[in-house]
Amino acid sequence: AVRGRPRLECVDVTVRFGGLVAVDKANLAVPAGTIVGLVGPNGAGKSTLFGVLSGLIRPANGKVLLEGEDITGTTAQSRAASGIARTFQHTELFDSLTVRDHLVLAYRAKHEKSRVWTDLFTIGSLRPASKTERETVDELIEQLGLVPVRNRPALGLPLGTARMLELGRALATSPRVLLLDEPSSGLDPNETAQMEEVLRRVVDERGISALLVEHDVELVMRLSSAVYVLEFGKMIASGPPEQVRNDPAVRAAYLGE
């Protein structure tokens, strides 16, 4: 790591879809061990910027840096290998695989790569977890409150539980950076409160840097040490939550004042 550099940053990133400038010279930095929030109205460019950081969208201009190293041209797979994990707004789980096996599989995907798919599709079931795998996975199951459902298949899990599993799958890869795409979307107030508590704890305990894209502005304000606000592709404000909350441009553009 380069001292003093943010864990993950984007510099002057521009993304065009045909004639539309979806992201316009955006700058954002996620310091080590903190949660940074990204908010903005629908269509502001949040998901597009998220795609740029995770490697699924190529910017027309600008750079993405991981601990100061330029990773703009690298693939999503190579970013995952270098410790950037993401969750999806719509959970993408294997219906018949148990909660526990999802986590074992995610752990193996990071730690032994090629053998995982052979395991799943030719043998039809996962090989028994090793002692290290069991310890890692059981700790996650405990931390995420998944103990009661650990042997249940993913199909039919309540949304809040599925979201926790999705988060667990990202954490099983021991990420340095966690990109969270609307982790509270569709959750009821109880599930949202639980997600908030878990996010705060895992980021703190594991020294992870997280970027939180969320429509729930209050949740973002409570969790983040810095908040960025996008509007029509432009970053119109950034700073500590209280400062951003009181920014006149933000109030006008986003909070409907």
- Contact residues: ligand ADP, CB under 6 A: 17, 20, 22, 40, 42-48
Q: Which two tokens stand for residue 57?
A: 């969208």
Q: Give the one entry of Mg ion, ligand ADP, none that residue 34 binds, where binding means its C-beta sits below a cut-off of 5 to 8 angstroms depending on kind.
A: none
**Cβ-closest residue to Mg ion?**
47
168's enclosing H/E stretch is helix 159-171
C-alpha closest to that of 208 among 84, 26, 47: 84
> 80 and 15 in contact (C-beta within 8 Å)?
no
Q: Give the one entry of Mg ion, ligand ADP, none that residue 40 binds, where binding means its C-beta sits below a cut-off of 5 to 8 angstroms depending on kind.
A: ligand ADP
When the beta carbons of 44 and 80 are compared against ligand ADP, the nearer one is 44
When the beta carbons of 31 and 43 are compared against ligand ADP, the nearer one is 43
CB of 213 to Mg ion, least distance (A): 7
Q: Give the one entry of Mg ion, ligand ADP, none that residue 43 binds, where binding means its C-beta sits below a cut-off of 5 to 8 angstroms depending on kind.
A: ligand ADP
Helix, strand and coil percent figures for the chain, each rounded to 5: 40, 25, 35
When the beta carbons of 21 and 32 are compared against ligand ADP, the nearer one is 21
CB of 18 to ligand ADP, least distance (A): 7
Give the neighbor-by-neighbor strand order of the sheet with 20-30.
20-30, 8-17, 61-66, 69-70
Q: Give the one entry of Mg ion, ligand ADP, none that residue 1 binds, where binding means its C-beta sits below a cut-off of 5 to 8 angstroms depending on kind.
A: none
CB of 171 to ligand ADP, least distance (A): 24
DSSP codes, 117-166:
HHIIIIISSPPPPPHHHHHHHHHHHHHTT-GGGTTSBSTT--HHHHHHHH
Q: Which two tokens stand for residue 8?
A: 């993950």
When the beta carbons of 24 and 119 are compared against ligand ADP, the nearer one is 24
> 213 and 35 in contact (C-beta within 8 Å)?
no
Alpha carbons 239 and 56: distance in angstroms, whole number: 27
CB of 204 to ligand ADP, least distance (A): 27
Q: Give the one entry of ligand ADP, Mg ion, none that residue 17 binds, where binding means its C-beta sits below a cut-off of 5 to 8 angstroms depending on kind.
A: ligand ADP
When the beta carbons of 42 and 125 are compared against Mg ion, the nearer one is 42
Footprint of Mg ion (CB under 5 A): 46-47
CB of 19 to ligand ADP, least distance (A): 10
